[in-house]
Amino acid sequence: MFDVLFQPAIDGQLYIQWLLSGLMWTLLLAVGGWWIAFAIGVLVGVGRTSRNRAVALAARLYVEVFRNIPVLVQMFLWYFVLPELLPTGLGDRIKQMPPPWGAFFPALACLGLYTAARIAEQVRAGIEALPAGQDEAAAALGLSPWAARRHIIVPQALRLIVPSLTSEVMGIYKNTSVALTIGLLELTAQARQISEATFQTFGAFAAATIIYLLLALVAYRLMLWIDRRFQIPGSAPARKARRLPILRRGGAL
């Protein structure tokens, strides 16, 4: 079934090399996008719980905008519309970026900022789930609101939301496939190219599917490890994979 992968393509490479190159771009996009999403998501999520009205409103606006516009539309906005809105010089320079980067950076921004909005809501939920006594104790000790969030609130909220962050990790790399619409040759795009060049549609897409599933397994395992690693000693070993019944430990994905 996977014979096709080991046949030479017109450019002299084996098709499997096409697939691996696609995998590399998928991973770059997912991992890079994740760090952007995590950094912005935590900041915006904290902003959502701010007592400063302007800050809370700005954070809310961010979430509503980036979470509610379909990813595909956002991808087009970053790729086609943004360069037109910028001053001509800058816009032209963006349009002239050499091939993979010209699609990669808009895709990175798109997935990073979209996922950030989703993470922000998780972070907010995590913060709101903490007992009020934590905030009160921090305040009573003279910690500034910033220090209280930095050292007391956010570290606990993040631990609480590891299970739901797991689905965000899976979400972002699945969404990387949307980048093919703006011409990034990531995993799905490469599978499609192989299929078009060889008419071995089944083999090409089966290989891509298996790679996606393996990635999911790796991501899940990684998050499980993080969950354990940051488990608070003496706290009840509650929650765990409960919120992800399909991926329960021991289950075959």
Site for other proteins, rule CB under 8 A: 131, 133-134, 136-144, 147, 151-152, 155-156, 159, 232-236
Residue recorded with tokens 């998050």:
223
For other proteins, the closer of residues 99 and 155 by Cβ is 155
Min CB(237)–other proteins separation in Å: 11
Min CB(141)–other proteins separation in Å: 4
For other proteins, the closer of residues 31 and 137 by Cβ is 137
For other proteins, the closer of residues 98 and 131 by Cβ is 131
Min CB(149)–other proteins separation in Å: 12
Cα–Cα distance between 174 and 166 in angstroms, integer?
13
CA dihedral (180, 223, 207, 15) positive or negative: positive
Q: In degrees rounded to 5, what are phi and psi of residue 14?
A: -80, 155
For other proteins, the closer of residues 122 and 177 by Cβ is 122
For other proteins, the closer of residues 108 and 154 by Cβ is 154
Min CB(126)–other proteins separation in Å: 13
Min CB(155)–other proteins separation in Å: 5
